[in-house]
Amino acid sequence: MDQRITCPVCNRDIALSSINRHLDEGCPEEQDASDPPVSGFFAPNRSKPSVPTTSAVAGTASRPTISSSPMGGKDLTSLSTLSSSPASKQPQQKRTFSLPFQGPSQDAKKLEANGGSSIGKSFREDEGVDTDSPATKRQKTVSARSVMPLAERVRPNTLDDIFGQDLVGPKGILRQMIESDSVKSMILWGGPGCGKTTIARTIAASTKARFVELSGTTNNVADCKKIFEQAKSELSLLGRKTILFIDEIHRFTKTQQDIFLAPVESGQVILIGATTENPSFKVQSALLSRCRVFTLKSLSTDSTLMILHRALSAEFPGKVDIPPLLDDKLLKYLAEFASGDARTALNLLEISIQLASQHQPGSNQEFTQEDLKKALTRTLVYDRQGDGHYDTISAFHKSVRGNDPDAALYYLGRMIESGEDPLFISRRMIVMASEDIGLADNTLLPLATATHFAVQNVGMPEARINLAHCTVALCLAKKSTRAYRGLNNVLALLQSDPEAASAPIPLHLRNAPTTLMKTLGYGKQYKYPPNYMDGIVKQEYLPERLIGRKFLEDIDLGTKIDEEAYEDEEAEDFEQGI
């Protein structure tokens, strides 16, 4: 018995050996008595049939090619490959037939070019959606932009849209270099979110040179060498310069930074490095001498506010669409909270837009601006690895040294709330106990050590109480730097006088564990103080060339006078009538 298949055009059950003739004749109305009416997948009058798959046609050798029908349906072409019989391999005239179902229009040219093979890749069979159509591609582009962070979506493309940096202002020196296309190798140094990358990309849009962007966090020396080779070819063949932008250049070690020296020196590339770290410490001196360092300042609140207004206008072209919670008062709060970091401000604004959009007025759950602020303040601006980390602990230490418990508690609170390691704080307080209090109160070192032990064993959040206890005690204690200064005096002598560093130890102070050493006089004239009344003996302990030198001073603190402090004290006494 001859195998039968379903005709994909008229939906009738046709013998496999007759399918080619049946299609070539245009699916004639006459039906063989042996060909019963078809039911099932290709049954007539089917309202919303599924898209045909390879399993819909038994015995197929390849998938058919589908193109758009003028009626909005699907066209089937080149069906001569449906049969695997020898007859099916003969050349057939291509005919076009409209499939009896409706669906979205397809990219016919792409499908025909691929011989129908793209049905499974660019057509979702379960939904009838063409994922390669122009409309879908536009949706993909929109979707890709929608997942991009707000800070990236609204990044300025021109110098006029960069706020808060005088270097690229109307009279800024960097702006003049960019506009005259005379950019030289430079290092952009500034805190996070101050505009380093934005300025570099603006240079890319303004200059005639080839622009290449790398990152110290993801790229390596090999990547840089490839760029140098390409830059050399560009310069020799086309006479075009190459600007190489290295974001986070301090991530390259000083040894790795050697690779930039020759290309920058010869003018093969123009290097623009961006760093949040002090270039004096993170960029080798040889490279610094070949680059100009531009210091970008932290953004002021007003500048950050302008950036937020610009971003809000970009997100909501119609002002009526802006959620009511995002008023000028909230924007100013975000600008102040960001502490000069535009990226942080924009990230906070993005979160605010999401929260405000989810809680529109009139909703069941009341959501106020105060609720929004509480949700945002759980993420304080604090970089545990960057300058903010060291700046905050430095401010904390100096507040303790200056006997200001209020300021010290403030910086302690900032570190705790931002997730700083509490053991890092307690270790620093152990140092303070000896460096700043020292001999004035010997009980503070045991207290600081006990605080460190408590933090280790109690843990947060309760250990914050131990930290506050020790902080206030250190602030209120008398201060003495005698021991600290005395050691510094010794170290200064050893660094300035090599002979002092190698002065021979007096014989009577040397240990004599062997007979030979005793014979040589080691320890012979040493007087053991506990054997004498009150432990008083006349004996020299310093090397002979240093006898009489004093390192430990007699006073606890220095002798300088801050006249402003005394003026404030006199004014306070006058007000109190003393």
What does the pLDDT read at residue 30? Answer: 54
Last residue of one domain, picked from the residues 323, 353, 376: 376
Tell me: do 345 and 267 sit in the same domain. no
Largest CA distance in the chain: 136
Q: Is the pLDDT assigned to residue 44 strictly greater than 50?
A: no
Expressed as residue numbers, the domain containing 344 is 301-376
Strand 186-189 vs strand 292-295: parallel, antiparallel, or unpaired? parallel
Q: 555 in a domain, yes or no?
A: no
For residue 542, tell me if it sits in a domain.
Answer: no
pLDDT at 322: 80
| Overall average pLDDT of the 233-243 stretch | 86
Task: Kindly state whether residues 245 and 369 are assigned to the same domain.
Answer: no
Q: What is the pLDDT of residues 186-231, one digit of tens each?
A: 999 988 888 888 888 888 888 778 889 898 888 889 999 999 998 8
Q: Using DSSP bridges, classify how beta strands 73-77 and 65-68 pair: parallel, antiparallel or unpaired.
A: antiparallel
How many structural domains is the chain composed of? 4
Phi, psi of 60, deg, nearest 5: -75, 145
* pLDDT tens, position by position, 444-476: 999 999 999 999 999 888 999 999 999 999 999
**What is the average pLDDT value for the chain, to the nearest integer?**
75
- Residue 29: inside a domain, yes or no? yes
What pLDDT score does 359 carry? Answer: 65
3-state secondary structure 495-543: HHCHHHHCCCCCHHHCCCCCHHHHHCCCCCCCCCHHHCHHHCCCCCCCC
- What 3-state DSSP class applies to 446? helix
Burial class (CB in 10 A: 0-12, 13-18, 19+), 259: middle
pLDDT of residue 47: 41
pLDDT of 396: 92
Q: Which amino acid is at 347?
A: N
| pLDDT for the residue numbered 445 | 95
356 and 268 in a common domain: no
What is the mean pLDDT of the segment spanning 497-505? 81
Per-residue pLDDT at 100? 37
Q: Which pLDDT band holds residue 273 (cuts at 50, 70, 90)?
A: very high
Contact present, 212 and 243 (Cβ < 8 Å): yes
Residues 257 and 360 in one domain: no
High-pLDDT (> 90) share of the chain, %? 17
Task: Using a pLDDT cut of 70, give the percent of the chain over it.
Answer: 73
Last residue of a domain, one of 354, 376, 398: 376
Question: Per-residue b/e over 542-558, b at no fewer than 16 CB within 10 Å?
Answer: ebeebeeeeeeeeebee
Q: CA triplet 158, 164, 170: central angle to 5 degrees? A: 55
Q: Are residues 331 and 369 in the same domain?
A: yes
Q: Are residues 203 and 305 in the same domain?
A: no
CATH of the domain at 250: 3.40.50.300
Q: How confident is the model at residue 361 (pLDDT cuts 50, 70, 90)?
A: low
| Cα-based torsion angle of the residue sequence 263, 267, 269, 271 in order, rounded to the nearest 10 degrees | 90
pLDDT digits (tens, 9 = 90+) for 121-170: 333 334 444 545 545 544 544 445 557 788 888 888 888 888 888 888 88
Q: Are residues 93 and 204 in the same domain?
A: no
Which residue, 192, 207, 341, is CA-closest to 272? 207
Residue 517 lies in a domain: no
- pLDDT of 88 > 50? The answer is no
Is residue 574 a part of any domain in this protein?
no
Domain limit, last residue, from 249, 266, 295: 295
Query: Quick one: tokens of 34?
Result: 């042996």
State pLDDT tens for residues 47-84.
434 444 433 333 434 444 433 333 333 343 333 333 34
Residue 91 confidence class, pLDDT cut points 50, 70, 90: very low
Q: Which tops the pLDDT comparison, 170 or 385?
A: 170
Does the residue 397 lie in any domain?
Answer: yes
Per-residue pLDDT of 517-535, as tens digits, reads 888 888 888 888 888 888 8
Residue 200 burial (C-beta neighbours within 10 Å; 0-12, 13-18, 19+): buried
DSSP string, 463-505: HHHHHHHHHHHHHHS----HHHHHHHHHHHHHHH-HHHHTPPP
Same-domain pairing of 370 and 471: no
Q: Which amino acid is at 1?
A: M
What Cα–Cα distance (Å) separates residue 76 from each residue in 42, 50, 82, 89, 151?
A: 14, 15, 12, 18, 48
- On whether residue 336 sits in a domain, the answer given is yes
pTM, two decimal places = 0.49
* Range 549-556 average pLDDT: 80
Contact 376, 334 (CB under 8 A): yes
Q: Are 52 and 179 in the same domain?
A: no
Summarised one tens digit per residue, pLDDT across range 275-308 is 988 888 888 889 988 899 998 888 888 888 999 9
Do 311 and 425 lie in one domain? The reply is no
Q: What single letter denotes the amino acid at residue 326? A: L
Instruction: Report which secondary-structure segment, H or E, holds 243.
Output: strand 242-247
Burial class, 374, CB count within 10 angstroms (exposed 0-12 / middle 13-18 / buried 19+): exposed
Is residue 28 located within the same domain as residue 90?
Answer: yes
Q: What band does 540 get if pLDDT is binned at 50, 70 and 90?
A: confident
Helical (H) or strand (E) element with 261: helix 261-266
Higher pLDDT, 404 or 566: 404
pLDDT at 382 exceeding the cut of 90: no
- The per-residue DSSP string of 358-417 comes to HS-TT-SS---HHHHHHHHTTS----SSSHHHHHHHHHHHHHHHTT-HHHHHHHHHHHHH
Identify the residue with better confidence: 457 or 31: 457
Is 123 in the same domain as 14?
yes
Domain contains 219: yes
The 10s digit of each residue's pLDDT in 404-441 is 999 999 999 988 887 888 999 999 999 999 999 999 99
Predicted local distance difference test score (pLDDT) of residue 572: 61
